[in-house]
Structure 1
Amino acid sequence: MVKGVIKGPSKLYLGAKFGMRMKLGIPYVIKSQVIEFQENKVIAWQHLLHNVWRYELVEIDANTTLVTESWDGRKVRSKWWVSDSGTWVPKAMAKTLVKLKGLMQG
């Protein structure tokens, strides 16, 4: 789970690199790179193991945006890392989307 930003640009863009403090059992730091970016539509990034986190944004109206989060571990370099992803990925996604909604609603 995300614990905070340690390094990166103030606004992400295609090719941008950033680092995050994380915790999944134990605390660690991970560096990622944006691999897909369309302003207000999609952002995706991967880290050294090559699993991909992706957010798609669809404007419903002036005050509502549908956010779809996905995670793709098919190209991951260490299969042991994703062996239990069915348990932690859905929980991480749910927490992230709740936090995002809270941030946007103030």
Structure 2
Amino acid sequence: MSRSKRQVSVSRVIAAPPEKIFDVLADPSKHPIIDGSGTVKHARASAPRRLELGSTFGMDMRMGVPYVIKNTVVEYEPNRLIAWRHFGRHRWRFELEPVEGGTRVTETFDWSTALAPWLIELVGYPKRHPTNMLATLERLDAYVTTGEVPAS
């Protein structure tokens, strides 16, 4: 795990090429499959099949109560980088780096761009998210390498 000012990251090497991993990350319908937090339930019907810079997509979520969140892709480099944010302006970023044995995938929760970073810190997300992010990378690994949906 890595921490910098208002960012926390976790990494995992996945035995697959970046293109295969990026295909999953760029498909909102796959996000519930790989989500390690258990909060992402379904992509909204209006979500594009493949994300690109500027794409917007809604997700059905549940954290205690159900809600819908609209995200916008704000960073994008095919097969290397994708990040999105919602109204709070904090970002979820995935960086892919080819390495021996596969691809190093780094997920970052970046609240340096948030409208209320102090609130994110007050509710403890920076301390809680790394565990969920590790679970996301584990689920992503299992899905990409086996093609099977990991058990919840």
**TM-score if structure 1 supplies the norm length?**
0.87
In 2, distance between residues paired with 1:36 and 1:104? 22
> Deviation of residue 29 (structure 1)?
1.1
> Which residue of 1 is the match for residue 52 of structure 2?
13
> 1:95 is matched with which residue: 135, 138, 149?
135
1:45 and 2:84 correspond: yes
Structure 2 unmatched runs, 5+:
1-38, 147-152
In 1, distance between residues paired with 2:63 and 2:114? 17
Greater helix content: 2
Distance change in 2, residues 1:9/1:47 (3 Å):
same
**How many pairs were matched up?**
105
> Deviation of residue 82 (structure 1)?
4.0
> In 1, are the aligned partners of 2:111 and 2:120 still within 8 Å (CA)?
no
Q: Which amino acid aligns with 2:132?
A: A
Q: Which range moved further: 8-17 or 71-80?
A: 71-80
Greater strand content: 1
Per-residue deviation, residues 20-64 of structure 1 (Å, max 9, x unmatched): 122233322110000011110000111000001100001225x61
> In 1, are the aligned partners of 2:120 and 2:126 still within 8 Å (CA)?
no
> Which residue of 1 is the match for residue 102 of structure 2?
64
Structure 1 unmatched runs, 5+:
none
In 2, distance between residues paired with 1:3 and 1:92? 15
Structure of higher RCO (CA pairs closer than 8 Å, 6+ residues apart): 2
Q: Which amino acid aligns with 2:125?
A: S
- Tell me how large the CA RMSD over aligned residues is: 1.6
